[in-house]
Amino acid sequence: MINDVERVLVTEEQINEAVHRIAKEIEKDYEGKEVLFVGLLKGSIAFMADLIKAYENTCTIDFMAVSSYGAGTESSGRVNIVKDLSVPIDGKDIVIVEDIIDSGNTLSFIKAYFAAKNANSVKICTLLNKPSRRVVDINVDYIGYDIEDEFVIGYGLDYNEHYRNLPYVGVLKRSIYS
């Protein structure tokens, strides 16, 4: 598995730094309020677990499963809700936790979906941001790292359901997926 990685892009130490920095930013922005962290499955699970452990204010969590990739390496542009939230969000302050944002299609869809369900506020948090791939103008409130347009795996990110368990983010060798 490690032989499939071209190079490490974000180390374990860099991930830890970003997680703690973002947790502090969210704490400051939501001081005195209860945040509902919504993780987008499956990719956000490692980031969200570490983020809520670093977060020192009151919070609740829930998960959604949405799909726009299938087994490919690029978003299809169509967003499907596979698993919706378990709790009502009317009047809640929500932070969507995502592993990576590229086109912006998924987050734009979910942000509008939450607004239609009367969320009090909706902010977006991601470990990795690919601004060069953006096709939808969307504000990302909390960003771990901006990265170039490369196919990355590890720390929750996958290729065909593999590599999620790597403790860092690496660039997958092109020969694996092309």
Residues 6 or more apart in contact with residue 139 via CB below 8 angstroms? 124
Which tokens hold the place of 58? 């009151």
Range of the domain at 79: 2-177
> How far apart are the C-alpha atoms of 117 and 121, rounded to whole Å?
11
Looking up residue 48, the CATH number of its domain turns out to be 3.40.50.2020
* Confidence (pTM): 0.91
Question: How far, CA to CA in Å, does 11 sit from each of 51, 93, 111, 166, 167?
Answer: 16, 31, 30, 10, 8
Helices (H), the chain: 12-29, 45-54, 105-116, 174-177
pLDDT (average), residues 24-38: 97
What residues are labeled active site? 102
Number of domains in the chain: 1
pLDDT in tens, 50-81: 999 999 999 999 999 987 755 454 555 678 89
